[in-house]
Amino acid sequence: MGIVLASQSPRRQELLRRIVPSFKVQAADINEEVQPGITPREYVQNMASEKAASIFEQFPEDRVIGCDTIVVYEDEIIGKPTSREHAFQILKKLSGQTHMVYTAVVVMEEGRTSSMIVPAEVEFFTLSDQEINAYLDTDEYKDKAGAYGIQEQGALLVKGIMGDYYSIMGLPIAALSRMLNYEYEQL
């Protein structure tokens, strides 16, 4: 039985290699539209579950890891920016504020599914328009929830964090490692 990561995120692949030396990668193609009336925690859990389930259909003999990460500010899910202007608006909104990051991880294998949500709180410095534009010039905001990557130049926007740093990056490896080890012990 192998492991399949249901994500093409280079960050998630890099992080998973720290705890699992060999795995396959298969991106899940699901509808990520936010449904009305759903809480952020329900949304992120559903997305990770749907990703894992869609890939598990292709790899039923393997263990599939599905993940999703969201940024939440004032109970609003802040998705990936659709343009530079949208990214500017997101970072302006987060400037000087504290927001939450939730990463859900689902491990699916024959006869068993386990999941977890790992939260982290992120506080941003108060950012000038010039600082925001300088960050946007790096293009790091593209394809990132909340329009920033904490592991890159986006770290310069962050005043502090409370919680799992790797959850903010998209894969809470300590929690996932414990989950995988526990599951191995149960086999």
Q: Please tell me which residue in 62, 68, 143, 164 is annotated as part of the active site.
A: 68
| pLDDT attached to residue 182 | 57
| CATH at 45 | 3.90.950.10
Which residue range forms the structural domain that includes residue 156? 3-186
Q: What is the mean pLDDT of each run of 10 residues along the chain (187 residues)?
A: 91 93 90 84 95 94 95 93 97 98 95 94 98 96 92 95 96 92 52
Query: Please, are residues 116 and 183 in contact by the beta-carbon 8 Å criterion?
Result: no
Tell me whether residue 68 is one of the annotated catalytic residues: yes
109, β-bridge pairs: 112
**Which pLDDT belongs to residue 111?**
86
Cβ atoms 154, 148 nearer than 8 A: yes
Q: What total of structural domains would you count in the chain? A: 1
Q: Which of 27, 20, 69, 71 is nearest to 51 (CA)?
A: 27
CB neighbours (10 Å) of residue 53?
A: 17
Closest CA to 92 of 130, 64, 118, 58: 130
pLDDT computed for residue 37 by the predictor: 85
